Amino acid sequence: MATVLITGVGRRLGFFLAHQFLGLGYQVIGQYRSERPELAELRNKGVRLIQADFSQRTQLLDFIDAVKQQCDCLEVLIHNASLFIRDDPCHSALEQAEFFDAMYAVHMLAPTLINEALYPALKQAKGNVVAMTDIYAEQPHKAFRSYCASKAGLANLVKSYASHWAPEVRVNAIEPGPMLFLDEHEQQHRDKVLAQTPLAKEGGLMPVWQSIELLINNDYLTGCSIKVDGGRSLTQW
């Protein structure tokens, strides 16, 4: 049975991807930061769940040790865990440092350490790594400076690992755009985002899954990044 590791399976995209891989017969290993009602459903379906807050160094290292014990052959690794939080202009220097440390830990350090630890398992399976970056990695949003910078670092890591690990393991990225609005997003915000999106609609999660399938199944793709954003990266916001 093929195995996939997905970080950030507690909600939204990660939760959706876990179900998609289960439907293909994969054994799914999932990381989550905090307990959520949705996780009971994943457990009932046989997903192996491991709790870890990647912003906490000890928890990250414990997570890596736990995953290494659970799989010696890994077909797919999805780096999906994310912290999408605005920079706070009221932060003190110490608070800003701690905030940036958390962004760096989740978006760059965790993927790096997980990659290094699981390379033997990925190589054994001639596996695939897919990282969720962001269209903001290339066109940063002024209110999310730390988020954008750390996602840009992840995008660079994708290229580095794609070159370093070829031809045994392929490494690619997906840059999501306005896929799925949050419940707290007001209609004015939604209208503004869609007005800045050439395809003028909310993408949903299926386009991301379709892009992951492409990256996994096309064995001549590595080091590439697919924008799944309805064309929003073509506009200025």
Contact between 219 and 190 under an 8 Å Cβ cutoff? The reply is no
Catalytic residue among 26, 147, 161, 220: 147
The CA-to-CA distance between both ends of the chain, in Å, stands at 45
3-state secondary structure at position 208: helix
State residue 24 phi and psi, 5-degree precision: -90, 0
Contact between 18 and 6 under an 8 Å Cβ cutoff? The reply is yes
Helix (H) and strand (E) counts in the chain? 8, 7
Is 26 among the residues known to form the active site?
no
Task: Supply the DSSP string of 111-143, one letter for each residue.
Answer: HHHHHHHHHHHHHHHT-EEEEE--GGGTS--GG
In residues, how long is the chain? 237
Contact between 98 and 106 under an 8 Å Cβ cutoff? The reply is no
Which residue type is seen at 81? A
Catalytic positions are: 147
